[in-house]
Structure formats: structure tokens, C-alpha cells
Amino acid sequence: PSLEDTLLAAIRTIPDYPKPGILFRDITTLLSNARAFRRAIDELVHPYAGQKVDKIAGIEARGFILGGAVAHQLSAGFVPIRKKGKLPYETVRVAYSLEYGLDEMEMHRDGVSPGEKVILVDDLIATGGTAAAAVQLLRQIGADILAACFVIDLPDLGGRDKLEALGVPVRTLIGFE
Ligand code: 5GP
């Protein structure tokens, strides 16, 4: 089957989660499907195979699962980007706006060294607000961001354009309107 058919069959859609009117794209069914999980990771990494990639930065929480697999495949290190208050060592922090109000995310200040080549990973890009904040965080500590990779794009919400305007190439595997 094609990549698109494989992903379409493996991603579950939950109506009205977490709120009425939202169609939530659930990737736990993709993760639990061995062939689909492997296929998604292989497709995410293939443009970067053979390139020097120092670190994968994964966004809490689904970006940890995908990012860990991507890091292994590219022989790169993994760095978690977390909601505030979860990391034990000294952090750098960035505030970003959610639908209602502000939140903050952080990473360890020694997670990436200046000049290191980093790929950002999360499961899905919608408005791009989360990923743009992660880009800001990584650049605060001098990372050279090669790309941002997501399994799912919601193109109507403009996230790709937002990241590309920041100079970050975006790779996604499937789009849902
Ligand atoms: P954004 O900041 O681009 O608007 O939202 C993307 C963030 O929200 C990502 O961290 C992503 O995991 C989460 N997210 C938003 N909608 C969905 C969805 O339908 N499915 C999944 N799996 N995550 C979502």
C-alpha cells in the first residue's frame, strides 16, 4: 500500500475531543501498528540519512516517541522540550500563546551546544504556535535547525507557512483538511 493509504488506515480520528467541534487525530493507533510505525519513521528520516545530524529535539509528549525513534535511526542524540517545571536541571524557557492564555516550554540549557545541527520532531502541526516556540527556544541556545518534521499537517491552519517564514524547512507525511 502507498504511504498515504498506510497512514490513513493507521491514524484514528476522534470527533469532539478534547472539545466539541474538534476532530482529534489520534496517533496511538499508528504507534501500536508495527508496520505503520516503522514506515512513518523511515519516511520521516530518509531525506536526512547520511547527513550529519547532532540532535533530535522532541516536543512533549508524542514528539518524544517519534523523536526517539528518529534519533536512533539517524544516530543522533535526543533532547526533550517540555512544559515548564518538568526538567530537573537548568533550563532555557520561552512563553507562547495557546488558544486561551499563555504557556511556557523549556529545555535543558546544555541539551544542545551552539552550532549543533538539530531536527525538531512532533506528531502534528496545526497553527505552528508550539513548533515556532520550540524553534525560538532552540535558537536561544544557538542551535542550527535543519528542519521540523511532523507526521500530520493541518494545512488550513497555516503552521507550515509560519515555520517557513522563520527559515525552517518543514517535512510532513500526510495532510488533513
Ligand atoms: P499548534 O501549536 O501547531 O497549533 O498545535 C500542535 C500541537 O498540538 C502539537 O504538539 C500536537 O501534538 C497538538 N495537537 C493539536 N491538535 C492535535 C490533533 O488533532 N492530534 C494530535 N495528535 N495532536 C494535536
| pLDDT tens sequence across 116-147 | 999 999 999 999 999 999 999 999 999 999 99
Q: How far is the CA of 142 from the centre of ligand 1 (A)?
A: 26
Name the nearest CA neighbour of 126 among 80, 163, 84: 163
- What's residue 101's pLDDT? 87
Q: Would the CB of 159 count as within 6 Å of ligand 1?
A: yes
Domain boundaries, the chain: 51-175
Mean pLDDT for 88-106 is 93
Summarize pLDDT for 144-169 with one digit per residue, the tens.
999 999 999 999 999 999 999 999 99
- What's residue 91's pLDDT? 98
Within 10 angstroms of residue 74's Cβ, the number of other Cβ atoms is 20
What is the C-alpha to C-alpha distance for residues 133 and 149, in angstroms, rounded to an integer? 15
To test the pocket of ligand 1, the residue of 65, 124, 125, 150 to mutate (highest count of ligand atoms within 8 Å of its CB) is 124
What is the C-alpha to C-alpha distance for residues 93 and 80, in angstroms, rounded to an integer? 13
Average pLDDT over all residues of the chain: 97
Alpha carbon distances (Å) from 15 to 18, 56, 151: 9, 31, 19
Q: Output the CATH code of domain 51-175.
A: 3.40.50.2020
pLDDT at 99 over 80: no
SS3 (DSSP) at 2:
coil
**pLDDT band (50, 70, 90) for residue 63:** very high
108-125: buried (b, 16+ CB within 10 Å) or exposed (e) per residue?
A: beebbeeebbbbbbbbbb
Mean pLDDT for 28-55 is 98
